[in-house]
Amino acid sequence: MAIADISPLIDTSLDLLELRHRRRESALHQLVQGAFEHQAVRHPALLETLLVRRERLGSTALGRSHAVTGAWSWCVRAPLVLVGLSDKGLDWDDTVRLGIEVVALVLTPGEATEELHFRRMEAVTSALRLQRQRQRLLDRRDLPTLSLLLREVPR
């Protein structure tokens, strides 16, 4: 009888990035480029423009130290959740005095239903709502911790 070592499958619909810049637009650019590298985006420039315009209409900062933004678009090929972490804090919005440390980008293909996108956004927002959860992610900075936090996100 053979014994096999089975490693867990890596969830390719999640990724974690270290954000290098302090400006909101630069962080969005880095997140979109990360999605493009995952081949989850068809037109990165168009998607980035869409996200920047969305932020100008109203900030997606959800209080202290985190923001969740997303797109349900034909520019998106595959569902993906990218979470960016910043040590310095991002200048996300004029009303948020504290720097944003955790930014989540939820991408849902246009072929999917609108309800699925809203459920994905809700799941990510709920997972990052508590400071304790965000702090665990900031302390560990690894994909297994992110997968554990976002296990409720519909794929």
Could you tell me the CATH number of the domain that includes residue 98? 3.40.930.10
Total domains in the chain come to 1
Residue 23 neighbours by CB distance under 10 Å: 11
Does residue 103 surpass a pLDDT of 50? yes
Give the predicted TM-score (pTM) of the model: 0.87
Question: 139: burial class by Cβ within 10 Å (0-12, 13-18, 19+)?
Answer: exposed
Evaluate whether residue 7 is within a structural domain.
Answer: no
Evaluate whether residue 5 is within a structural domain.
Answer: no
Evaluate whether residue 154 is within a structural domain.
Answer: no
> What pLDDT sits at residue 110?
94
Evaluate whether residue 52 is within a structural domain.
Answer: yes
Evaluate whether residue 140 is within a structural domain.
Answer: yes
| Alpha-carbon gap, residue 21 to 4, rounded angstroms | 44
Tell me the pLDDT tens digit for each residue of 68-93: 999 999 999 999 999 999 988 888 87
Which domain covers residue 40, as residue numbers? Answer: 14-149
